[in-house]
Structures are given as C-alpha cells and as structure tokens.
Amino acid sequence: MREVAIIGVGLTRFGERWEHGLRDLMAEAGLNALNDANISSDDIEMLYGGVMASGRFVGQEHIAALLADQLGFKNIPAVRVENACASGGTALRQGYITVASGIHDIVAVGGVEKMTDVTTSEATTALGGAGDQEWELAQGITFPGLYALMAKRHMHDYGTTEEQMAAVAVKNHKNAVKNKYAQFHKEITMEEVLRSKMVADPLKVFDCSPISDGAAAIILAPLEMAKKFNDTPIKILASTQATDSLSLAERESITGLRATQIAAEKAFSQAKLKPKDINLVEVHDCFTIAEILAIEDLGFYRKGKAAKATADGETALNSKLSVNTSGGLKGCGHPVGATGVKQAVEIAMQLRGEAGERQVSGAEIGMTHNVGGSGATAVVHIMKRIN
Amino acid sequence: MREVAIIGVGLTRFGERWEHGLRDLMAEAGLNALNDANISSDDIEMLYGGVMASGRFVGQEHIAALLADQLGFKNIPAVRVENACASGGTALRQGYITVASGIHDIVAVGGVEKMTDVTTSEATTALGGAGDQEWELAQGITFPGLYALMAKRHMHDYGTTEEQMAAVAVKNHKNAVKNKYAQFHKEITMEEVLRSKMVADPLKVFDCSPISDGAAAIILAPLEMAKKFNDTPIKILASTQATDSLSLAERESITGLRATQIAAEKAFSQAKLKPKDINLVEVHDCFTIAEILAIEDLGFYRKGKAAKATADGETALNSKLSVNTSGGLKGCGHPVGATGVKQAVEIAMQLRGEAGERQVSGAEIGMTHNVGGSGATAVVHIMKRIN
C-alpha cells in the first residue's frame, strides 16, 4: 500500500447559487483544483464524485460520467458514491484507497449538491432518504426531529442547555465571516439563536444548517510523486469509515454516534496519534447538537463535557481546539454531497497556511469528520503538512 | 497489488416481486452469497452496494449502511456506488480495487433495484436520469428513443435488419427458460417480436428489457486466501472501466460505444488475452441492438458483422460464443443496480460448472460487460476458473 497526499484543492462559493446549475458548480470547483495542483485534465486517471440525491434534486443520476465529461477527463473511469451527507467524505476515502492500491496514480475527488431548484418541502423529503424511509420517515419524522431526539436525551442525561448548543451556531457564524466561500457572512448573537423560530424542540432555525448549492474538489497522488506537482502536499495519515443502523430505535444509545466513535478509534490507531495531537478539526455540525456529539465521540471531550467547553470558548478559532474554522455546515453551508470534500479542503488550506483571517497558528495536524444521516455512516480523515 | 477471487455468489429471482421490498431482496441475495462462501456476516470487512435510483423508486438513499445493518455486518465501512445501469459492475470493480489494495480482505459486493413500486411512467422518468437530463431527456427523448437512434444508424450504415435484432430477443428468452432466477420463462418467436407493439421505431416491446425487481451479491477475497473458503474460487483476471459523454450528440459515432471499446481493450491487455480466448460473455442487452453493438465493441465481431452472426445462431448457447446464457437483461430481467453483479454471478456459476441446463461445456474463461445509460459508462470484467 502506497502513502497518499492531497496535491490540489478547489471550491465554489457555497450558498443559494440560483444562476448556476449542477454541472457549472462541479466544473468551477474541479478547474480550481486542477489549477491549484498545476496539472491538466489529461493527467487525471480516475474520478470519484460524491453526491447525495441529485436524482431527486435535479433529475440527474450518472453524475460521475457527467462530471468527467464536463471537466474534459475523457474516457477515464468515474464513480459516483453516495452515503447520504457523508457522500463527500466517502468519495475522498475511495480516492485514497484507489491511489493506495497502485491501480491509479492521479485521482480527482469531487463533491457537489444543487439543492435550491426544489422547494424546501421537496428538499426535506429528499433528505429524508438518508434515514430509514420505512421505519422512521414514513412515520412522519424529519431530520431536525431525529436530531432533536438526540438533543433532548443529551440534555436529560448531561444537563446540556439550549444556550450551550446555541454557542456552536454563534462560533461557527463568526468563523464563516472570515471565509469567502461561506454561505453566511453575518455574525449572530446567542439571543438571536434562542429567539429564532422553533423547528423541532429544542432545535430552532439557527441550530440547523441551511439548504445550499456548492461543490468542492481535491486532487490526490501517491506521496512519492506529490512534490512534482506541489510544494506543500498534505499527507493523509488516516482514512477510516464505519456504519451503524439507519434508525435511531435500533441503537443502544442516542447521546453519541457509535459510527463516529469507531471511525475515530481506527483513525487514531492508523495515524498513531491521540486526540491531543490534533490542532484543528472540521466536524459534521448539521445541527448544533451534532457538533457537541462529534467532539465527544471523536475523543476530544468526555461524554457530557463538550457543551460547556464550547460555551466556555474552548473550541473557538485559535483556542484550545479550533473546531469548524470554515464556519462548519452551519455557517459555511451544507450542499450535502460537497460537505465532506469541503471539510478536507479547509484542513488542507489551514495546514498550508493559506486560510487568511481564519488561519490557525501553528496548524500541523488536522482532522475531518463527515456524517451520513443521523449517524449510520461516519468518515474520518487525519492529515498532516509534510513540508 | 494483490490478486482477487470470487469466493461466493448469491441471487434472488428477478421479476415483479410485489411481495418483497428493497431490504428483503438485498438480504436474500446477501445471505445466499454468505452461505455459498461458507462464511458468516462477521467475516465481512467492507461492503459496496450498487443501486441506481432508489431515491426515486422507493424514497431511500443511504443504501449501503442500510444493507450492512440488514445483513448484520455491524459497523463496517459501506459504500453505495451509482453509475446508472452500470452501478452493479461499478460496485464489483470497487470491491476488486479494495481487496487488491490490501486495505480489506473479505469484501461483499451487492446490487439491487426495486422498480415496481412506481408506475411505468415514473420508472421511465427515473431511468432518464441515466442520460443527460438537461441536454437530452428534458427535450423529450426516453431511453428506448436513444437506443432507437443507435439502431437506425446501425441499420443505415451496415444493413442490420429488424429480424436480426429480434433474433437477440428470441435467443435470450430461450436461455432464460433454463434459468430459475430469470423473470421470463417463456420462449418467444421471431414473429412475436416483430409483431409486438412499437416503442420507439425500430424497437418494439420485445426488443426492450423489462422493469424488474431483484438483487445479486458476490463475496471477494484475496486469491491467496480464497481456497480457505471455497473449493472453486474464480479469479478476476481483469477489471476495467471507461466513460464517454452522457449525450449522444457529443459523440463521433453512435454505431458503437466508445466506453465499451476502451474498457474492453484495457481488459484484454490486463488479462493478457484476446477475444478468441473467451468462452462465454454476459453483455448489456438493455435493448436488442445493444447486444449487437456490445459483441462488436468488445472485439468478438467486426463492426457491422454481429447482427447477421446472431441471426445465424453463432451466439446461441454452446455455439461459437455463448452470449447471455443467463437470459441477459432481456430474458432474465433488468433490476438496474443488480444487473452488473448478476452478470458476474452467472459467469462464476458457469465457470464452476453449476449452470445446469444452460451449462456452457468446457467454460474456462468468461467476461461481463455492464453499461450505464446510453454508454457513458462501461465496466468490463474477465474471470477464470483456477481449479
């Protein structure tokens, strides 16, 4: 097995991109990544595209071949992967496996979602496909409802408060203001979060990530070739994934995601590192409670301790552990198939020292954490600057 | 890179499976494959699931985690792949890459589609997602229409006749009668095909594969471990894939699929074999013309020669080249995500000498050919009995 490095990254601005379709967004992110890696489309040997529900959002399946054609990667193998909101992280891990295997050298990984061509109600229904359609969604629950159940139980067991959850949203909006790719460039106050409209008790609108359009792309290469293309390659130290039941009812506990815990344990083992070695992490804050669960499940805080730590500012930019410097799903936006790739782009930019106003000082090792649905899939990556 | 073998296979009966849902079908095929490989669910280290449009057919995305949970593969990494009707073949190639890489040893590959829960009109719309939604389908064409264009041009350039195309359907139904997993157990005559209702000139109902429910599963292992599980492992000699533009309008020729030609060239090169070395092949006959294009594009016949050869009986069971012994998509059925995996199951059964009445005598080397949409993806595998 070969070691694998990121040699190029590209993003589109996330947001309500009314003027651009799915293929425009993919092309924009992809071309940015090719330029960043100083390579041409002829150099790409295989493509993975993460997209969750393009069939329902824009009527288009078969996205990988479309993406390859649109970017001029003529006739290469191309594969769409889908693991709900973890489609992007899954695509990155597939690219990692393929480069590690020796079957292909230069592999492009993209993530995209075009969500604003349908109504909010249609989008909610499409996103429901990430949960157990027969056993959960058909009974009337939605995704905010599933995460509200987790939040209520976390509050019950550990005394977590609505203010502490709101602190996640306040922090992530603050970070997003410093990110030109982010959907929201407006700080919000604790009071605004608490006063915002109730979605599913205790989660209010400002506890929820938005519906977004956007794309992200990464170019991977074997580590030994990486320096040919890029002065600052980022080495992937670990790439792991785990699953759990789709439906919450089948789980032993809903105050943590078992898939995250397993993927994290495996990642730290593969990288031969501990949580204290990580300088910054992009976690899957689809709802504010999800960020609290994540930093507990990943091992940064003991169960029940992350909410207070967040409210105390320990996860703010350049504090004890910088969490979601991009603004996270809450502030940067959440085009579902793109998110997992965007998280890795953010970590790569930080490790290269190119994150501008939101730069984490001395960032050497970063982590990403991408979740599908209510935790049936979790994908974790650990990365390191090697130059 | 390690060599890879098939150590277990499983199928459901294909057809209108009103009494079974998506998860039932997946579980049935998966358990059959586990039993066939003499392993338990605890032995599986990773899962790939090929499914095309479950979001639109049954409202369910996130199929891989669902499948893993349903089969008791607790917490393993699981990935859904989608490349339209080539989703199954793509899943098999991803499994092959992963085992070859050394990252995981025992990998399950499944393919499934549950298509009969929606109306035929809804199914046609969902399948349209395999073509270029903006540039083709939104203009009013359907998949039979796209293949009708290819058929018309092939007739114009090479004198191919409607009778010669009908011969594909007659042969494949004849094979399907001998396959207990097939959707159709009824022979049809040339006259019945020619007299059947027109769908898109020159393609009539009996030139088209049906809408089907079904699932197929395969267990992969490193070749050096394969004998531990199974007395008759099947070695994968080649696993290749290529893409082309989604829309026909962008292609230089529509009398052949460039993606198939490229994937086939690479497969013969990887396996160090020539077309004459292949004893039997399962090709993607979504329409009768598609089988004719396929056996030309794969290199078994020169362009323009396959239609007459088929009508002359050269591709019948135990003739010059046994094509679609399972009954193909036309006779066995076409649950789109399952088809590519089912093709490999058929070849494995034939190479193990377990195909009963439809056994190809002396079958040693077989090939599969799985197409996405109107040819934007093609996946080719070559396999050999090693015992």
If you write DSSP's letter for every residue of A296-341 in order, what string do you get? HHTTSS-TT-HHHHHHTTTTSTTSSSEE-TT-HHHHH---HHHHHH
Domain edges within chain B: 4-119+212-234, 130-209+237-385
Look-up: residue for tokens 């199951």?
A: B345
Q: Which residues of B194-215 are buried (b: 16+ CB within 10 A; e: fewer)?
A: bebeebbebbbebbbbbbbbbb
Contact B243 A98 (CB under 8 A): no
Whether A130-210+238-385 and A4-119+212-226 are alike in CATH topology: the answer is yes
Range A4-119+212-226 classified under CATH 3.40.47.10? yes
pLDDT at B169: 98
Q: Which residues contact B4 (CB under 8 A, 6 or more apart)?
A: B96, B99, B100, B220, B221, B222, B223, B235, B236, B239
* DSSP assignment string, B351-380: HTT--GGGPPTT--EEEEEEEETTTTEEEE
Contact at 8 Å (CB) between A1 and B101? yes
Is residue A353 classed as helix, strand or coil in its secondary structure? coil
End-to-end CA distance of chain A: 22
Report pLDDT digits (tens) over B241-265: 999 999 999 999 999 999 999 999 9
User: Cβ separation of A243 and B69 shorter than 8 Å?
Assistant: yes
Q: Which residues pair with A48 in a beta bridge?
A: A79, A109
The whole-angstrom distance between B76's CA and the closest CA on chain A is 5
Q: What is the pLDDT of residue A383?
A: 98
Domain B130-209+237-385 class, CATH top level: alpha beta
Nearest residue to A334 (alpha-carbon basis) of A297, A298, A370: A370
Segment B293-312 shows an average pLDDT of: 98
B156: pLDDT confidence band, cut at 50, 70 and 90?
Answer: very high
For A103, A187, A327, the CA distances from A66, given in Å and listed in that order, are: 22, 38, 30
- Per-residue model confidence (pLDDT) at position A308: 98
Note the pLDDT of residue B13: 98
Q: Does B357 touch chain A (CB under 8 A)?
A: no
Q: What is the mean pLDDT of each run of 10 residues along chain A (387 residues)?
A: 96 97 96 97 98 93 95 95 98 97 96 96 92 92 96 98 98 98 98 98 98 98 93 96 97 98 98 98 98 98 98 98 98 98 98 98 97 98 93
CATH number of A130-210+238-385: 3.40.47.10
Reported ipTM: the value is 0.96
In B, which residues are within 8 Å of A60 by CB distance? 129, 133-134
Q: Which of A61, A75, A117 to mutate to test the interface with B (most CBs of B within 10 A)?
A: A61
CA atoms within 13 A of residue A24's CA, in its CB half-sphere: 10
User: Among residues of chain B, what percentage have pLDDT more than 90?
Assistant: 96
Structure confidence at residue A379 (pLDDT): 98
CA distance B44 to B219: 8
Polymer length in residues for chain A: 387
HSE of B179, CA atoms in CB hemisphere, 13 A = 35
Q: What is the pLDDT confidence band of residue B230, given thresholds at 50, 70 and 90? A: confident
What is the spatial distance between Cα A81 and Cα A54, in angstroms, rounded to a whole number? 12
Task: Provide the token pair at A99.
Answer: 């480069």
Whether the Cβ atoms of residue A343 and residue A88 lie closer than 8 Å to each other:
yes
- The percent helix, strand, coil of chain B (3-state, each to 5) is 45, 20, 35
Residue A141 at interface with chain B, using a CB cutoff of 8 Å = no
Indicate the fold that domain B4-119+212-234 takes in CATH: Peroxisomal Thiolase; Chain A, domain 1 (3.40.47)
Which of A263, A269, A268 has the alpha carbon at shortest distance from A244?
Answer: A263
Note whether A377 contacts B: Cβ–Cβ < 8 A: yes
Residues 6 or more apart in contact with residue A247 via CB below 8 angstroms: A131, A132, A135, A136
Is B101 within 8 Å of A97 (Cβ atoms)?
Answer: yes
* Each residue's pLDDT tens digit, B59-105: 999 999 999 999 999 899 999 999 999 999 999 999 999 999 999 99
Query: Is the CB of B66 less than 8 angstroms away from the CB of A93?
Result: no
Of residues B102, B108, B199, B106, the one with CA closest to residue B151: B199
What is the number of other CB atoms lying within 10 angstroms of the CB of residue B381? 28
**Mean pLDDT computed over B262-281:** 98
Query: CB-based burial of residue B227 (10 Å sphere; 0-12 exposed, 13-18 middle, 19+ buried)?
Result: middle
Residue A366 forms beta bridges with which residues?
Answer: A280, A383
The pLDDT, as a whole number, for residue A387 is 74
Which residue reads 């890459």 in tokens?
A: B97
Q: Do A376 and B130 touch (CB under 8 A)?
A: no
What confidence score (pLDDT) does residue B279 get?
A: 97
| CA B50 from centroid of its chain's CA atoms | 11
According to DSSP, the residues that pair with B234 across neighbouring strands are B6, B385
Q: How many CB atoms lie within 10 A of CB B2?
A: 15
pTM of the shown model: 0.97
Does residue B131 sit at the A interface (CB-CB below 8 Å)? Answer: yes
> B361 at the A interface (CB within 8 A)?
no
For residue B239, report the phi and psi dihedrals to the nearest 5 degrees: -145, 110
Tokens (6 digits) for B356: 């009963």
Choosing from A104, A154, A284, A334, the catalytic residue is: A334
Q: How far is A31 from chain B (nearest CA, A)?
A: 18
The whole-angstrom separation of Cα A58 and Cα A13 is 19
Percent of chain B predicted with pLDDT > 70:
100
* Cβ atoms < 10 Å from Cβ of B266: 17
In 3D space, the residue among A12, A31, A82 whose CA is nearest the CA of residue A219 turns out to be: A31
Query: What's the sign of the alpha-carbon dihedral A83, A88, A91, A93?
Result: negative
Q: How many CB atoms lie within 10 A of CB B372?
A: 34
Subunit contact B103:A100, Cβ cutoff 8 A = yes
3-state secondary structure of B45: coil
H helix intervals, chain B: 22-37, 54-58, 63-70, 87-101, 120-128, 143-158, 162-176, 190-195, 223-229, 258-271, 288-297, 306-311, 328-332, 336-351
> Can you tell me the mean pLDDT for B221-225?
96
